[in-house]
């Protein structure tokens, strides 16, 4: 196996930040992964797994061994009489959106609302990807992972993954302890269309017939393309912040501070909790469409920060960190709400 030294990851992270990794390798089999882990342990190197690089922020210098997870392949269980579902197992390095299209081409339904989410299948579990009324947890059943301490392959059930809103055990107790190898999804043999998310119901409002799953996927692609910046034109990592979720009691106490929060388009999560769109908070603080050096707050979806700086701007990381700090300080100052950061930030200046 080839271990490249001082390897530039500029083209392997969607925020396009220049980053020099101490060591880099790419693995396409479990055997290669074993070998890479041994190399890291022998040389006392931290391990940094890399998927599509679409939800990470990298510092100019990254110590350790970056292992690109390039495990490819998939399998589908056979039809069983009277069983309305089949299981699709995808290896961690498969591209998420291509996997959605693959599921549809095999008449497997459930993933369509998550079309066009960038990144790989393995990374999808770590943050329990969600969009347009669906979350991965709606159809995820289990995964296999490589235990980095024990150097063994283990199966982890959905329950044990502790999936929540943009959250899983892999961001908490199991952080940096496992590398996800494959993911199994339980998908329906016939579509169960959900177009209740406002953007989707508006899209199909003129039609009296229920759309097909393929039409829902195409609609999601169109909505995302209209609303979110494309990674190739404006490098970004999607939503930079999570939407804050509060108990109704806590929300009442925030309202009592007398700010304009009472006009926020809140969304009920359940009987006791509500979500406030972070996009609205950032918008109300006046950041939408603004540029700070090379870092921009997107003009349509202010939850997304974009990298407009010159390619490989060495200041990119620290510029981004100061914009993030400005936004969080201002939102806290105006609303007493702390915005949680969504992507993983590596590096000393980072928050993670
Ligand atoms: N809004 C504003 N000003 C704006 C834009 C939006 O006030 O400039 C308010 C609107 O009231 C709108 C609300 O924000 O109704 C919510 O906006 P949107 O429906 O676009 O969704 P979001 O909550 O901002 C989340 C996900 C997205 C996902 C969409 C659609 C998070 C952190 N983000 O965004 O995920 O695509 O819902 O389901 O939960 C991602 O994770 O990278 C991502 C793009």
Instruction: Give the pTM.
Output: 0.96
Contacts with 37 (C-beta within 8 Å, 6 or more apart), sequence order: 47, 67, 146, 148, 151
What proportion of the chain, given as a percentage, has pLDDT over 70? 98
Q: Ligand 1 center to residue 134 CA distance, Å?
A: 13
**Residue of the nearest CA to atom 26 in ligand 1?**
131
**Residue in 239, 309, 328, 344 annotated catalytic:** 239
Contact 110, 146 (CB under 8 A): no
Tell me which residues have their CB closer than 6 angstroms to ligand 1. 131-132, 197, 199, 228, 238-239, 242-243, 265, 277, 279-280, 283, 288, 301-303, 342
Task: Give the position, in ligand 1's atom list, of the atom nearest the Cα of 237.
Answer: 42
Q: Ligand 1 center to residue 277 CA distance, Å?
A: 6
- Go through 33-55 and write b for each residue having 16 or more CB atoms within 10 A of its CB, e for each that does not: beebbebbeeeebebbbbbbbbb
Q: Determine which helix (DSSP H) or strand (DSSP E) holds 187, and give its type and residue range.
A: strand 178-188
Task: Give the position, in ligand 1's atom list, of the atom nearest the Cα of 55.
Answer: 42
Q: Which residues pair with 154 in a beta bridge?
A: 145
Is there a catalytic annotation at residue 239? yes
Angle value at C-alpha 272, between 269 and 274, nearest 5 degrees: 40
pLDDT at 313: 78
- How high does pLDDT run on average in the chain? 95
Q: Ligand 1 center to residue 301 CA distance, Å?
A: 7
Max CA distance (Å), the chain: 63
Q: Which residues pair with 4 in a beta bridge?
A: 24
- Go through 233-249 and write b for each residue having 16 or more CB atoms within 10 A of its CB, e for each that does not: ebbbbbbbbbbbbbeee
8: helix, strand or coil: strand
Whole-angstrom Cα distance, residue 257 to residue 260?
A: 9
**Residue in 22, 94, 112, 342 annotated catalytic:** 342
pLDDT at 310: 76
pLDDT at 117: 98
Whole-angstrom Cα distance, residue 73 to residue 239?
A: 28
Q: Ligand 1 center to residue 227 CA distance, Å?
A: 9
Rg (CA), the chain: 21
Whole-angstrom Cα distance, residue 102 to residue 294?
A: 37
Is there a catalytic annotation at residue 142? no
Contact 184, 88 (CB under 8 A): yes
pLDDT at 351: 46
Per-residue DSSP letter, 294: T
**Residue in 166, 224, 328, 344 annotated catalytic:** 166
Tell me the CA end-to-end span of the chain in Å, nearest whole number.
Answer: 31
Whole-angstrom Cα distance, residue 16 to residue 63?
A: 18
Block means of pLDDT (10 residues each) for the chain, length 352 residues?
A: 96 95 98 98 97 97 97 98 98 98 98 98 98 98 98 97 97 98 98 97 95 98 97 96 95 84 92 96 97 95 94 85 97 95 82 45
Whole-angstrom Cα distance, residue 331 to residue 99?
A: 37
pLDDT at 348: 62
From 128, 196, 244, 277, give the residue whose CB has the most ligand 1 atoms within 8 Å, as the site to mutate. Answer: 277
pLDDT at 314: 81
Is there a catalytic annotation at residue 166? yes
Q: Ligand 1 center to residue 83 CA distance, Å?
A: 36
The string of pLDDT tens digits covering residues 258-301 is: 678 999 999 999 999 999 999 999 999 999 999 998 999 999 99
């Amino acid at each position: 196996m080839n271990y490249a030294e001082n390897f530039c990851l500029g083209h392997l992270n969607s925020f396009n930040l220049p980053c020099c990794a101490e060591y880099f390798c790419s693995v396409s089999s479990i055997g290669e992964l074993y070998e890479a882990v041994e190399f890291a342990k022998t040389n006392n190197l931290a391990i940094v797994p890399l998927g599509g690089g679409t939800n990470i922020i990298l510092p100019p210098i990254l110590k350790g061994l970056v292992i690109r997870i390039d495990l490819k392949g998939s399998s589908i269980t056979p039809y069983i009489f009277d069983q309305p579902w089949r299981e699709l197992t995808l290896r961690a390095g498969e591209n998420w959106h291509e996997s959605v299209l693959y599921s549809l081409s095999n008449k497997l339904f459930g993933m369509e609302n998550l079309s066009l989410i960038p990144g790989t299948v393995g990374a999808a579990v770590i943050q329990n990807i969600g969009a347009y009324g669906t979350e991965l947890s709606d159809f995820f059943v289990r995964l296999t992972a490589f235990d980095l301490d024990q150097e063994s392959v283990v199966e982890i059930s959905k329950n044990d993954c502790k999936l929540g809103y943009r959250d899983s055990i892999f961001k908490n107790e199991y952080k940096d302890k496992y590398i996800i190898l494959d993911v199994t999804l339980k998908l329906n043999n016939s579509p169960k269309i959900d177009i209740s998310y406002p953007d989707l119901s508006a899209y199909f409002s003129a039609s009296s017939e229920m759309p097909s799953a393929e039409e829902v996927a195409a609609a999601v692609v169109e909505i995302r393309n209209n609303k979110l910046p494309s990674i190739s034109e404006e490098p970004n990592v999607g939503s930079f912040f999570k939407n804050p979720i509060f108990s109704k009691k806590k929300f009442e106490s925030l309202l009592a501070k007398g700010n304009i929060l009472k006009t926020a388009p809140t969304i009920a999560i359940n009987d006791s909790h509500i979500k406030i769109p972070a996009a609205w908070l950032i918008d109300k603080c006046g950041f939408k469409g603004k540029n700070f050096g090379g870092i921009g707050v997107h003009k349509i979806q202010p939850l997304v920060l974009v990298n407009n700086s010159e390619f490989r701007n060495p200041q990119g990381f620290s510029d981004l960190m100061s914009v993030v700090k400005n936004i969080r300080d201002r939102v806290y100052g105006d609303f007493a709400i702390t915005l949680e950061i969504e992507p993983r930030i590596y590096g000393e200046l980072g928050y993670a």
